[in-house]
Amino acid sequence: MPPRTADEPEILGAVRQSKRPRTEGFHLGRRLHQLRRERGMTLEDAGRLTSLAASTLSKIENDQMSPTFDVVQKLALGFDIDITELFASNSGQDAAGRRSITLAGAGRPMETPVYNHRLIAVELKHKKILPFVTTIKARSLEDFKTWSQHSGEEFLYVLEGEICFQTEHYEPAILGVGDSVYIDSSMQHAAYSTSEQDAVVLWVNTG
């Protein structure tokens, strides 16, 4: 059985700078602080709004922790904003006919103990889907304090290596290059690498 989910974000990993330029204007902690100030809210007020501990919000604002996707979703729901607005830069495009190009190796890093995400098309606000490329560092279920669980649906496609994809109601699935899985995200789930090298996947969540 999967472990119970929790609100505590995962520890911020060391983020290495890409050789290619990254989108400017992003700092999740500053964005969260800005949202609180605009609403005249204390950390305790924001905690009640988002169902997250005030200490957790403080650590996010001070770059001491990096939130999981589940926690990011709680922030967006609590503040009643589109989830992509937490990651969009100030130059986000809202016009029709928009597009976004992300060069190989670029994207916005978001690292946790089990996953190393690179968020894609980060300058676009109000996206219907949230794409990211993920290096899966986890090597067993024991590496997970909690499994992921959130609203929406998601799609995973293996680009490199091999993974074991675990879900709450199904038997584990071993997926190799070219294999994919589509799930209801409200079902608890986790993935870890089974290949010699860390696996790399394309992960897409609905916003």
* Residues sharing a CB contact under 8 Å with residue 165, sequence separation 6 or more, in sequence order: 156, 172, 173, 174, 175, 181, 189, 190, 191
Is 49 in contact with 41 (CB distance < 8 Å)? yes
Write the DSSP symbol of residue 124. B
On whether the CB atoms of residues 117 and 123 are closer than 8 A, the answer is no
Edge-first strand listing for the sheet containing 199-206 = 108-111, 115-119, 129-136, 199-206, 153-160, 180-184
Secondary structure of the chain: what % helix, strand, coil (to 5)?
A: 20, 30, 50
pLDDT: is 190 or 22 the higher one?
Answer: 190
Query: Which of the 8 DSSP states describes residue 49?
Result: H
Q: Which residue has the higher pLDDT, 83 or 168?
A: 168
With 0.85 as the threshold, say if the pTM is over it: no
Give the pLDDT score at 206: 86
Question: In this structure, how many other beta carbons lie within 10 angstroms of the beta carbon of residue 174?
Answer: 10
Percentage of the chain beyond pLDDT 70 is 81
Contact by Cβ (8 Å): 182, 207: no
Give the pLDDT band (50/70/90) at residue 192: very high
Which range of 2-11, 120-129, 146-155, 162-171 scores highest in mean pLDDT? It is: 162-171
Q: What is the pLDDT of residue 2?
A: 64
Distances (CA, A) of 3 to 157, 183, 193: 24, 19, 19
The tens digit of pLDDT for each residue in 43-94 reads 999 999 999 999 999 988 888 887 777 788 888 888 887 776 776 555 455 5
Q: Is the CB of residue 46 less than 8 Å from the CB of residue 54?
A: yes
